[in-house]
Amino acid sequence: MTTAHRRFKDSLYEQFARVGKAVAAPKRVELLDLLGQGSRAVEALAGLAAISVPNASQHLQVLRAARLVEARKRGLYVEYSLADDEVGHFVVTLRGLAAARLAEVEQITRAHFDGRGGPDAVAGDELIGRVRRGEVTVLDVQPAEEYRAGHFPRAVSIPIDELKARLKELPKDREVVAYRRGPYCVMAVEAVELLRQKGFTARRMELGVPNWRARGWRVATVRRGAGA
């Protein structure tokens, strides 16, 4: 191998490693996962990730340096978003690879979800057919801003903190399939628990909007300023 060829290979793999270094911190992976739902201000991301605003800002700067996220000014706030859909696909693939290769992922997930609606989650392919046939009510329990940024077509939007007060909006004669942020979302499980307590037939969907996008399925959005 010539010296020039070796320099080329070393330089190339150094750039590949920039992405690996950028996602080497658990909180940075979580921030990317959160941004897969839609763009957010630093303050909102810090709250959702349970870290300080300065800490969130530092993590986001690392992700931005690796060209994984973009930032833009909106009024008094800086809002971040994924650089493009490929980054979202990368995060979904990273989660899937970890789940396939690391037994600890399944152990941690089972320990948390067993007995709470986790084992009977609805697969995405099954859900599509049932939604198209009008056999289930798809319930989106994301906050309104996440719903507007991306949701499953025909999904009913009732944020989790409003669900108890708005149960009358859901028909009891059809099964309800609830979702929020994907296979590890606690809020979707809580929604299923509440619905079952109130006499609904309910299950959790194992996929979230990022998974939906990664599979090339249509995601509905609502323009800023429009109602949910």
Set out the domains of the chain in order of their start, with CATH numbers.
Answer: 3-87 (1.10.10.10), 112-214 (3.40.250.10)
Please tell me the predicted confidence (pLDDT) of residue 29: 96
Task: Give pTM, 2 decimals.
Answer: 0.77
Please tell me the predicted confidence (pLDDT) of residue 183: 72
The alpha carbon of residue 160 and the mean position of all alpha carbons in its chain are separated, in whole angstroms, by: 15
Q: Using an 8 Å Cβ cutoff, are 219 and 151 in contact?
A: yes
Q: Which residues are paired to 78 by β-bridges?
A: 73
Give CA–CA dist 179/211, Å, rounded: 12
Please tell me the predicted confidence (pLDDT) of residue 185: 74
Q: Is 6 exposed, middle or buried (0-12, 13-18, 19+ CB in 10 A)?
A: exposed
Please tell me the predicted confidence (pLDDT) of residue 143: 85
Please tell me the predicted confidence (pLDDT) of residue 100: 93
Per-residue pLDDT of the chain (228 residues; tens, 9 = 90+): 789 999 999 999 999 999 999 999 999 999 999 998 888 899 999 998 999 999 999 999 999 999 999 999 888 888 999 999 899 999 989 998 999 999 999 898 888 777 554 445 666 667 667 776 778 899 999 888 888 888 888 889 999 999 999 999 999 888 998 988 777 778 888 999 999 999 999 988 877 777 777 777 778 887 655 544
Please tell me the predicted confidence (pLDDT) of residue 153: 84
Please tell me the predicted confidence (pLDDT) of residue 119: 44
Q: Using an 8 Å Cβ cutoff, are 91 and 29 in contact?
A: yes
